Amino acid sequence: MERTCLAVILAAGDSTRMKSSKSKVLHPVANRPMIAHVVEAVAKAGISSVALVVGRDAEEVAKAASIGGVEVEAHLQKERLGTGHAVLAAREAIARGYDDILVTYGDVPLQTEGPLRAARQALAEGSDIAVIGFHTDRPTGYGRLLVKDGELIAIREEKDATDAERAVKWCNSGLMAINGRKALDLLARIGNGNVKGEYYLTDLVEIARSLGGRVTAVDAPEVEMTGCNNRAELAAIERFWQEHRRQEMMISGVTMIAPETVFLSYDTVIGQDALIEPNVVFGPGAVIDGGAVIHSFSHIEGAHVRAGAAVGPFARLRPGADLGQGSKVGNFCEVKNGQIGEGAKVNHLTYIGDAVIGAGTNIGAGTITCNYDGVNKFETRIGANAFIGSNSALVAPVSIGDGAYIASGSVITDDVPADALAFGRARQEVKPERAKAIRESALAIKAAKKAKAE
């Protein structure tokens, strides 16, 4: 649309039902604050200007709402006097003059751009108000949208509805679009002559009609209009989000053996023909290329797994992990800020941190890159086609050349040249009969203690 639009996002609630030490809209869905999901939906609807109405945790909420390509301006609502009053907290922004004003809520993170665009289209076609509604088989508690001859004539709250009106299953979501040229005048006409003494945004329907304006309603999927007021609803929203995203990925060519056990982040990228086994968790920043295999019970965050690589089972990839094509990080291994070269293998019980592993190198079981001295971190570099024997400790900073061989059980503190063999362990000594003597001595001490106790 070429029409200008301001989105007013209401995010000033006290979140009392959430029973939380932070604002409700800061709680994450798919590892992203729910307010950021709302701003993204607004951006996809072609809106680049947002007036964010904030209250509790104002600075944190404004920061969480700041995503690329959207100009977010925070407006503090000092008193809580209803939704109409909340929108007018952004009076300064509204007064700048926009074709459309879209009002939405920061605690409705599943909303998408489709209904928002439809509401704006209704304004473009001559409506002064376009209310977004949803159909449900469980309308109890919601205001009903009463439509006649294609126009919305009223939003009837359930307590005021007749039996016939209560049977209506088209309900008010609270989201609406307002003619930007008339918005301030319409909002200023909202009164507070009700039991609570509050200013209700829904009164705009009656106000606009009384002035001869056209009011319409557009439909949205029920699940997209799901609001969040407590932890149980937050869990339900997370479930809805995960189910939808998994479905999208599987349709795009990703195999998930037990999709209900896979948990994705808002930015997880998985390529075609990747295989995800059961009980895998993706934190933010995970990129899985096509053809990769993620075995069960693995946790991946801030990592890139390239084509044909395999991870797990029971592996952890932390931020900065980069697995080359055909490489493998196996069971009970952890990689953090480490590059694993093409075809390299880190198969068992190993920690790779702040390291570069060359192509074709084999890292034996129990190997550790000792990257931290308690204050600073250092890098380990291992060349191509090297062999690191089991139970080795590589004390960074250290470099191991191409084709080098590290004997099992070594502690390596100095650089190892290419094709060299390095031992970093004490020479083995055998003391005949010494184990027997130690054992007999220990048994004698134990027997003496027992006799004394008796």
Separation of alpha carbons 126 and 115, rounded Å: 17
Q: Tell me, yes or no, if 348 is annotated catalytic.
A: yes
- The rounded radius of gyration (Å) of the Cα atoms in the chain is 31
Marked catalytic residue, from 37, 75, 295, 348: 348
Q: Is 389 exposed, middle or buried (0-12, 13-18, 19+ CB in 10 A)?
A: buried
- Distance of alpha carbon 421 from the chain centroid: 46
- Structure-block tokens of residue 117: 């665009």
> Which residue is associated with the tokens 């896979």?
262
Q: How many CA atoms lie within 13 A of 41 on its CB side?
A: 27
Q: What is the dihedral of CA 181, 184, 186, 192, to 10 degrees?
A: 170
Q: How far is CA 434 from CA 43, 74, 429, 430, 440, in A?
A: 76, 77, 11, 9, 10
Separation of alpha carbons 61 and 199, rounded Å: 24
Q: How many CA atoms lie within 13 A of 33 on its CB side?
A: 18
Separation of alpha carbons 223 and 105, rounded Å: 15
Residues recognised as catalytic: 348
